[in-house]
Amino acid sequence: MMQLYPEIYACIGCNACTKSCTQELNVMQYIAYAQRGEFEKCAEESFDCVMCGVCSSRCPAGISHPQVAMLARRLNGKYLAPKCGHLEDRVKEIENGTFQELLEALMQKPVEEMKELYNHREIEK
């Protein structure tokens, strides 16, 4: 983090970033996590960031908050978070054509019916 975003260590703690966040995130907190190398916490705290950049535009230290958050999320996803076997299995099923018939049938449905199916879908846990 120090090599790519050394400006995070110039944070003066003014909290302008958090006050200006359109998502009401605790931006200053996730920058503090990044400063300490706690990328998992930074990734979680910044998860709902929409990368609008308002926080950066208000920062007197010139911190690129959304970019710091994105790096933390990528590091967390690639190196820290546990692997998701379920996801790998699903990708293999898609590659093998398991859902091809279902997808083709869905593509023939009108938009309103698709919206209804989506709104009443069963969500996996």
Residues of the chain with pLDDT under 50: none
Q: Are 24 and 16 in contact (CB under 8 A)?
A: no
Contact yes or no for 63/56 (Cβ under 8 A): yes
How confident is the model at residue 24, as a pLDDT?
A: 97
The pLDDT, as a whole number, for residue 84 is 84
Helix, strand or coil, per DSSP, at residue 95? helix
User: Where in the chain are the domains?
Assistant: 6-80, 85-119
Answer whether 0.75 is exceeded by the pTM.
no
77: CB partners within 8 A, 6+ apart = 43
In this structure, what is the dihedral angle of CA atoms 78, 81, 86, 91, given to the nearest 10 degrees? -10
> Which of helix, strand or coil describes residue 38?
coil
Sign of CA pseudo-dihedral 88, 94, 98, 99: positive
Residue 30's H or E segment, with its range, is helix 27-35
- Cα Rg of the chain, angstroms: 20
Largest pairwise CA distance in the chain? 57
State the pLDDT at residue 109: 96
- Report the candidate in 30, 18, 27 with the shortest Cα–Cα distance to residue 72: 30
